[in-house]
């Protein structure tokens, strides 16, 4: 499949592309208090860019998905509001993108069932998250096993063409394509559109403070909007090798990769040259990273603080969003029902 893997545009240079009549869609799970650098550079920054380049962009908060790992209702509500705040603070604009909460359109669970009936067990058994849980000997519940089907329903329900995500979600989009293809073939229809992933090569997998993929479940994250002390602690805790200051450095380390997220290509070249020459201390790189990070997110932090005081407005944005999302969803769901012979006879 022709995945739209692209190299990142020059830092902050936003090419003025003509708008495309495509539907862009993506979502984020409300499993933590705050989104992290992996969420932002791997996905959210692209959400913001794509809302201007396409006619229709839908971004939702995947509260149903969070149920496989979070079993506290009050926390889910808090986290859901926090993701909405992070979306808006990062520059998503309800005038240009449809922002909504997944569970406000429960019809997605009907499409999940419809897709479940055309999804081979073997496909779900090969899913990375399920396999990882099995390997760790965890008690896997059915929700985790079916997770990719709900995600496919999210994507297919709105006729999405393009799905901006980090690399860890690529397999899920491939599965969504397979399910759409199988449904269309089995019911001899074209009810479902086959989506493409949109993954920027340079930020496809943002490393965490321990060098593994940045992820809440590894406890190696740097949150976008945490208190400065917490951000400082995380940055200073980035694991490095034990090369002495004067020795040449290996630039293939998390500290340089994370630093590079906040630098232009020219700055990165210069930094890497200094690192390879020797004489550069990791402490200095971390201090510079912290300063750049705080600067970068400062305007968003301010916007977030202002919005935080007005939770009713956030709720209104989500409620208005789901009305527009439903307008896109219902014809697709109706086409699936019609093809599958469900519901009352028409006409």
112 binds ligand TYM (CB under 6 A): no
30-59 residues near ligand TYM, rule: CB under 6 A? 38-39, 42-43
65 binds ligand TYM (CB under 6 A): yes
Cβ proximity to ligand TYM, 222 vs 314, nearer residue: 222
Task: Please give the DSSP secondary-structure letter assigned to residue 136.
Answer: T
177 binds ligand TYM (CB under 6 A): no
178-207 residues near ligand TYM, rule: CB under 6 A? 205-206
Residues 6+ apart with CB under 8 A from 161: 22, 23, 24, 193, 195, 196
- Asked if 22 contacts 4 with a C-beta cutoff of 8 angstroms, the reply is no
Instruction: Candidates 62, 223, 317, 322: give the one binding ligand TYM (CB under 6 A).
Output: 62
154 binds ligand TYM (CB under 6 A): yes
Cβ proximity to ligand TYM, 260 vs 280, nearer residue: 260
Q: Please choose, from the candidates 312, 298, 328, the residue with its C-alpha nearest in 3D space to the C-alpha of residue 89.
A: 298
Cβ proximity to ligand TYM, 163 vs 332, nearer residue: 163
Cβ proximity to ligand TYM, 204 vs 263, nearer residue: 204
168 binds ligand TYM (CB under 6 A): yes
Report how far residue 310's alpha carbon sits from residue 257's, in angstroms, rounded to the nearest whole number: 36
101 binds ligand TYM (CB under 6 A): no
209 binds ligand TYM (CB under 6 A): no
Judged by CB under 6 A, the stretch of 117-125, 166-174, 177-185, 229-237 that binds ligand TYM is 166-174
Give 14-21's long-range contacts (Cβ < 8 A, gap of 24+).
Answer: 14/49, 14/52, 17/53, 19/52, 19/53, 19/54, 19/55, 20/53, 20/54, 20/55, 21/54, 21/55
The angle subtended at Cα 21 by Cα 2 and Cα 58, nearest 5°, is 85
Tell me whether residue 74 is exposed, middle or buried, using C-beta atoms within 10 angstroms of its C-beta: 0 to 12, 13 to 18, 19 or more.
exposed
76 binds ligand TYM (CB under 6 A): no
Q: Residues touching ligand TYM: how many (CB under 6 A)?
A: 23
Cβ proximity to ligand TYM, 213 vs 249, nearer residue: 213
Q: Which two tokens stand for residue 93?
A: 């604009």
Instruction: Candidates 23, 24, 28, 253: give the one binding ligand TYM (CB under 6 A).
Output: 28
151 binds ligand TYM (CB under 6 A): yes
163 binds ligand TYM (CB under 6 A): yes
Judged by CB under 6 A, the stretch of 2-10, 103-111, 210-218, 248-256 that binds ligand TYM is 210-218
Report how far residue 194's alpha carbon sits from residue 52's, in angstroms, rounded to the nearest whole number: 22
Task: Please give the DSSP secondary-structure letter assigned to residue 345.
Answer: P
Backbone angles phi, psi at 177, to 5 degrees: -60, -45
Report how far residue 12's alpha carbon sits from residue 304's, in angstroms, rounded to the nearest whole number: 20
- Give the binding site for ligand TYM (CB under 6 A): 26-29, 38-39, 42-43, 62, 65, 151, 154-155, 163, 165-166, 168-169, 205-206, 213-215
């Amino acid at each position: 499949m022709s995945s739209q893997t692209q190299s990142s545009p020059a830092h902050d240079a936003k090419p003025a592309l003509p708008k495309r009549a495509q539907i862009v869609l993506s979502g984020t799970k409300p499993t933590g208090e705050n989104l992290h650098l992996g969420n932002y550079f791997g996905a959210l920054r692209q959400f913001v860019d794509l809302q201007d380049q396409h006619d229709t962009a839908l971004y939702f908060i995947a509260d149903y998905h969070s149920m496989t790992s979070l079993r506290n209702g009050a926390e889910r509500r808090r986290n859901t509001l926090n993701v909405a705040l992070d979306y808006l603070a990062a520059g998503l604009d309800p005038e240009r993108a449809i922002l909504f909460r997944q569970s406000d359109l429960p019809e997605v669970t009907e499409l999940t069932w419809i897709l479940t009936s055309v999804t081979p067990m073997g496909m779900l058994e090969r899913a990375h998250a399920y396999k990882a849980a099995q390997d760790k000997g965890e008690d896997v519940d059915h929700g985790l096993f079916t997770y990719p089907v709900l995600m496919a329903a999210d994507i297919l329900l709105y006729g999405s063409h393009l799905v901006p995500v980090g690399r860890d979600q690529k397999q899920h989009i491939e599965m969504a394509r397979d399910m759409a293809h199988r449904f269309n073939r089995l019911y001899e229809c074209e009810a479902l559109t086959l989506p493409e992933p949109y993954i920027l090569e340079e930020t496809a997998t943002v490393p965490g403070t321990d060098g593994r993929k940045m992820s809440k479940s590894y406890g190696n994250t740097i949150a976008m909007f945490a208190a400065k002390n917490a951000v400082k602690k995380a940055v200073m805790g980035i694991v490095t090798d034990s090369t002495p200051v004067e020795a040449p450095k290996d630039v293939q380390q998390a500290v340089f990769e994370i630093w590079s997220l906040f630098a232009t290509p020219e700055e990165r070249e210069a930094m890497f040259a200094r690192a390879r020459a020797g004489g550069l201390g990791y402490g200095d790189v971390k201090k510079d990273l912290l300063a750049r990070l705080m600067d970068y997110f400062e305007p968003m932090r301010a916007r977030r603080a202002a919005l935080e005081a007005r939770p009713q407005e956030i709720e209104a944005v989500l409620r208005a969003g789901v009305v527009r999302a439903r307008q896109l969803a219902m014809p697709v769901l109706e086409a699936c029902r019609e093809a599958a012979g469900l519901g009352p006879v028409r006409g």
